[in-house]
Structure 1
Amino acid sequence: MKFLALIIALAVAVNEASGHYIFQQLSIGSIRYGVFQHIRKNTNYNSPVTDLASNDLRCNVGGASGAQTTVANVKPGDSFTFTLDIAVYHQGPILSVSSPGAAQRGSRFLSKAPSHVQDYDGSGKWAKFKDFGPTFSNGQATWPLRQTYEHKIPTCLRDGEYLLRIHNLAIHNPWPAGVPQFYISCAQINVTGSPAPAGAFAPTLSIPGAFKETDPGYTANIYQPVFTSYAVPGGKESHPKGRLRLPDPFVHPYGS
C-alpha cells in the first residue's frame, strides 16, 4: 500500500509539472540564442512563483544576480522574442517589463541597471511596455497561448544595461480557493545607439509591490458565467514623455 501511494504521488507530481513551462530562449532579430544564453537561469526548474511579497517575483527563483549570464547587445527598435520550452498552457496574461539598471496573460518589463546588469538585483523601478491579453467574442475569451512572444525594444530607450523581464500570470486556479502562478524570466541586455534621451517613461513600478491580491486581474474567475473583460495586473503600460529616459535604476512594468 505504501508503494502504491508513492506511485500515485509521483504520478500526480509529474502530471502537475508537465503543465508548467519556462521562458528559456531569447532571439534578437533573426538570431536565436541557445537555451539560457543571455537569460538568467532559475533554480526551481519550471515551477511558478506564487508569493506576491517575494523578491523572486523579479527574475524568478535563483535569478537575483546574473554573474554567470552573458549580456545581449541590442539597439532601440530591434525586435526580440522570448521562447518557452513548451507553449503556454494555462490561461492568463503575458507581460513584458524592462528594468533599467490556467488562464493567463503576459507582460514585458524593463529595468535599468545602475552599472553592470550582471550585478543588478532588479530592486530599482520597472516600466511595463507590453501586455499580451485576451480577446473577447460572443462571451468567450481567447488567450494568447503560444510558445513565442515577440516585441520591439522601445525606440527611445537610452543607452545602458537593462533587465528585460517577461512573465505569464496563470489564473486557471482562481483566487482565493486557488493561487495564481507567475512564470518569470529575465534577459540581460545592453542598449547602444539610442537617440539623445529626454523625458521619462511613466508610470513605473516596484517588484514586489506591483501585484496585489486585490487586483481584479489577479482575482478574476475565468469560469464565471459572464466573463467579458479583463484588466492586466501591474497597472497601465508605460509610455515615454518626449523621449524615453529611465531613471537609474529603472524597471519597465507590464500592464494593460
Structure 2
Amino acid sequence: MNPRGKYIRPYPKSNGPVRDLNSPLLLCRTEGMAPELTEIMPVVAGSEIVLEWHHNDASDMDNVISPSHRGPCFVYMAPMESNGIGNSWFKIYEQGFNAEKNMWCTDILRENHGKLSVKIPTQINNGEYILRTEIIALHNAKAVGEAQFYPNCAQVRVTGATSGNPELYPIDLIYNATDPGILFDKKNAGSTYIIPGPPVYPPQ
C-alpha cells in the first residue's frame, strides 16, 4: 500500500503519534472518516497482502521509523458499514518481541524496508472492511500516557471468504494506559513483553 495512496484514509502530514487513549484519533489518526473519500482495494481471503510503513519516502533507503521507536505491530479489521465505531474490530495480526531474533516488530520492519506481509483470514464474511494498522512505540512508555500509537486505516473489499463470526471490540476500549504492554520500561527484557489488546482471529 502506497503511503497517502488511494486506498488509505487521509492522515496528518505531521505523522505524529497519538498518546491519548480516549482520543478519536486512535481510530485511524484522521478526523475525516468519510469512507467515500478513499478507494477500496480488492483482496482475496486467504491471500497475503503487503503493508508498508515509511518515515519520509517509499525508497529502500528510508529509515521507516526511528530505531529508538521500538515496539509491536498490529492489524485489525472492521466491517465498512460500522465506520469503525463501537464493537466492530477484530485483530488479525500481532507481533511483539521476537526472542529468537532478539528483535521487536519495528526492528523487523526496518530490516524489511517497511514491508510486512499479513494474511487476510478466510473465516470472515465477504464484503468491505476497514483495515487498521498500528505501531506502538515504547521508548518513553515507562511513564503512564507516554506510549506512542501510530494507527492508519485502509479500505479493502474481501472476496473468497468462507464466513465467520469473530468477537468484536471497540478500539477505544481495547487498551488501558496501565496494561503491561502499554506501560513498559524499555530497560526490561523484551522477552517479558505482554502483547496488549484482544486475541488474534482466527486463533493461532
TM-score class normalised by the smaller sequence: 0.7 to 0.9
Counterparts in 2 of 1:177 and 1:128: CA distance versus 1, 3 Å: closer
Structure 1 unaligned spans of 5+: 1-25, 27-32, 92-101, 115-119, 241-255
Q: Which moved more, 1:159-168 or 1:43-52?
A: 43-52
> Is the partner of 2:173 in helix, strand or coil?
coil
> Is the partner of 2:157 in helix, strand or coil?
strand
Map residues 190-205 of structure 1 onto 2, 5 A cutoff.
190-195=157-162, 197=163, 199-202=164-167, 204-205=168-169
Q: Distance in 1 between matches of 2:85 and 2:67?
A: 28
Structure 2 unaligned spans of 5+: 56-63
Deviations 1:119-140 (A, max 9, x none): x531042101110111226xx9
Map residues 92-131 of structure 1 onto 2, 5 A cutoff.
102-114=69-81, 121-124=83-86, 125-131=88-94
The yes-or-no answer on 1:231 pairing with 2:194 is: yes
Deviations 1:194-221 (A, max 9, x none): 23x2x5113x311111111121000111
Q: Distance in 1 between matches of 2:52 and 2:190?
A: 29
Q: Distance in 2 between matches of 1:234 and 1:63?
A: 25
Q: Distance in 1 between matches of 2:77 and 2:191?
A: 30
Paired residues of 1:133 and 1:232 also in contact (CA < 8 A): yes
> Is the partner of 1:52 in helix, strand or coil?
coil
Paired residues of 1:166 and 1:185 also in contact (CA < 8 A): yes
Counterparts in 2 of 1:134 and 1:50: CA distance versus 1, 3 Å: same
- One-letter amino acid matched to 1:187: A
Paired residues of 1:90 and 1:103 also in contact (CA < 8 A): yes
Structure 2 residue aligned with 1:88: 65
Counterparts in 2 of 1:149 and 1:222: CA distance versus 1, 3 Å: same
Structure 2 residue aligned with 1:94: none
Paired residues of 2:83 and 2:130 also in contact (CA < 8 A): no
1:59 Cα offset (Å): 0.8
Q: Distance in 2 between matches of 1:142 and 1:207?
A: 27
> Is the partner of 1:150 in helix, strand or coil?
strand
**Structure with greater strand percent:** 1
**How many residue pairs are counted as aligned between the two chains?**
189
- One-letter amino acid matched to 1:89: S
1:90 Cα offset (Å): 5.1
> Is the partner of 1:57 in helix, strand or coil?
helix
- One-letter amino acid matched to 1:201: P
Identity %: 28
Look at both structures and tell me which one has the larger radius of gyration over its CA atoms: 1
Deviations 1:71-101 (A, max 9, x none): 111111121111122323356xxxxxxxxxx
Structure 2 residue aligned with 1:169: 136
Structure 1 residue aligned with 2:175: 211
Runs of 4+ with >6 A deviation: none
Structure 2 residue aligned with 1:75: 44
Q: Distance in 2 between matches of 1:90 and 1:164?
A: 25
Counterparts in 2 of 1:234 and 1:177: CA distance versus 1, 3 Å: closer
